[in-house]
């Protein structure tokens, strides 16, 4: 198990984790902990990197006729990095080359369209990215005596004042119980925290921030200075509480907050002892399941797919025997104990069956 250390500084992503679960924040900060990145996540990383490079002006001096070739070169560079990392990962290599990844062509087309719009904005100087070297593109902050750090994708000055842009490759909205869309709270908080850091470093308050998704229109958030200051105070207090527990050498379980809200989007479930020791309400997880199991049997069908019999011993499903359908197995083998994260569940003939999806992680447990 990792060695948990006090934080010398925190970032918006760490702050979001601290609000949910101290152990999740510790996992996120530990660079030795490797998280599984399925193709959709790696595609998102490549898309975000391409937009960042365009925002920095990498193609600003090229003509419109040259944009496509420039974008192709950046895309090849970024997607090759992601493909190489996937192919050497025992948990990911079975997904194969990038062009075979689900929605590869669609995501590429979407990010190229977004990048061309950004290039047009640069051409029209609507963002005035060249006017001031420290107000134009990606900006790194070290603020509040070094305790808060972060990176805004774009900082620019409009007629109304300083504005921020944060690119997002996934959905920026959540739906409430009434089906109404609301921007994700952690994204809204990130923009406010960037605004706080900008003010602390420069003495100038940004007036607004923009979330720019890969598809759909940007979402604008007006910066509330009072709320922003409260967020900073709360974040620094959470850091203080975390550091106090670590200084007291509290056990790992004392840092954990195993619950649906905390664990639903956590990327560290496979490593978390508290998650697997906890009793979960399977109905809360909908069509997604996370389970520890022993492989009892494995058969290949005539279509080249696989039918796997599992004995579930922990996780969000009740203990018992389940059937898993898969078009790829990774290193699954009879007798192996595994943890499967993000398995899709489906009712069929009054029984619950499991299916491996593009987001499913297969973690082999030590023999």
* Rounded distance between C-alpha atoms, residue 128 and residue 57, angstroms: 11
**249 CA to centre of own chain:** 29
Please name which of 142, 132, 123 lies closest in space to residue 54, comparing C-alpha atoms.
123
Please name which of 2, 11, 3 lies closest in space to residue 196, comparing C-alpha atoms.
11
pLDDT tens per residue, range 108-119: 999 999 999 889
Mean pLDDT of all residues belonging to the chain: 90
What pLDDT is recorded for position 103?
92
* Rounded distance between C-alpha atoms, residue 21 and residue 278, angstroms: 14
pTM: 0.83
Class of domain 139-226: alpha beta
pLDDT tens per residue, range 278-321: 999 999 999 999 999 999 999 999 888 999 999 999 999 999 99
| Domain layout of the chain by residue ranges | 36-124, 139-226, 279-364
Q: What share of the chain is helix, strand, coil (3-state, %, to 5)?
A: 40, 25, 35
Is residue 195 within 8 A of residue 152, CB to CB? The reply is no
pLDDT tier at 262 (50, 70, 90 boundaries)?
A: very high
Per-residue pLDDT at 93 exceeds 90: no
* Rounded distance between C-alpha atoms, residue 57 and residue 119, angstroms: 8
- CA dist list (Å): 351 to 321, 323, 348, 354: 11, 10, 5, 10
Q: Residue 182 class from Cβ within 10 Å (0-12 exposed, 13-18 middle, 19+ buried)?
A: exposed
| Domain 279-364 bears CATH identifier 1.10.540.10 | no
Per-residue pLDDT at 129 exceeds 70: no
Q: Where are the alpha helices (DSSP H) in 30-175?
A: 39-55, 67-87, 104-124
Percentage of the chain lying above the pLDDT 70 cut: 95
**Per-residue tokens: 242:** 């975390």
pLDDT tens per residue, range 8-47: 999 999 999 999 999 999 999 998 887 778 899 999 999 9
DSSP line for 218-234: -EEEE--HHHHHHHHHH
């Amino acid at each position: 198990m990792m060695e948990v250390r006090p934080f010398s500084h925190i970032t918006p992503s760490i702050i979001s984790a601290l609000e949910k679960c101290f152990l999740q924040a510790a996992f996120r900060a530990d660079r030795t902990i490797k998280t599984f990145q399925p193709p959709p996540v790696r595609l998102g990383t490549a898309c975000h990197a391409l937009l960042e490079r365009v925002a920095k002006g990498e193609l600003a001096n090229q003509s419109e006729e040259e944009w496509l070739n420039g974008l192709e070169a950046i895309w090849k560079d970024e997607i090759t990095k992601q493909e190489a990392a996937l192919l050497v990962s025992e948990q990911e290599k079975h997904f194969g080359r990038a062009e075979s990844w689900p929605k590869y062509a669609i995501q590429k087309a979407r990010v190229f369209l977004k990048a061309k719009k950004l290039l047009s904005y640069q051409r029209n100087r609507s963002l005035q990215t060249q006017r001031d070297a420290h107000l134009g593109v990606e900006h790194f902050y070290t603020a509040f005596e070094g305790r808060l750090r972060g990176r805004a994708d774009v900082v620019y000055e409009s007629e109304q004042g300083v504005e921020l842009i944060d690119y997002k490759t996934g959905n920026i909205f959540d739906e409430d119980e009434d089906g109404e869309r609301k921007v994700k709270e952690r994204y809204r908080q990130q923009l406010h925290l960037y605004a706080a850091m900008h003010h602390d470093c420069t003495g100038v308050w940004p007036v607004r921030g923009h979330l720019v998704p890969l598809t759909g229109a940007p979402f604008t958030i007006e910066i509330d200075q009072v709320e922003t200051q409260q967020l900073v105070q709360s974040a620094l207090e959470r850091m203080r509480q975390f550091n106090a527990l670590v200084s007291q050498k509290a056990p790992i379980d004392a840092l954990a907050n195993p619950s649906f809200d905390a664990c639903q989007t956590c990327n560290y479930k496979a490593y978390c002892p508290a998650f697997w020791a906890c009793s979960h309400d399977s109905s809360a997880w909908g069509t997604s399941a996370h389970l520890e199991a022993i492989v009892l049997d494995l058969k290949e069908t005539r279509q080249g797919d696989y039918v796997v019999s599992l004995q579930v011993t922990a996780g969000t499903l009740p203990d018992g025997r389940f059937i898993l359908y898969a078009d790829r197995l990774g290193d699954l083998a009879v007798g192996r104990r595994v943890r499967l994260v993000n398995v899709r569940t489906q009712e069929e003939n009054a029984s619950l069956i499991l299916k491996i999806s593009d987001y499913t992680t297969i973690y082999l447990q030590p023999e």
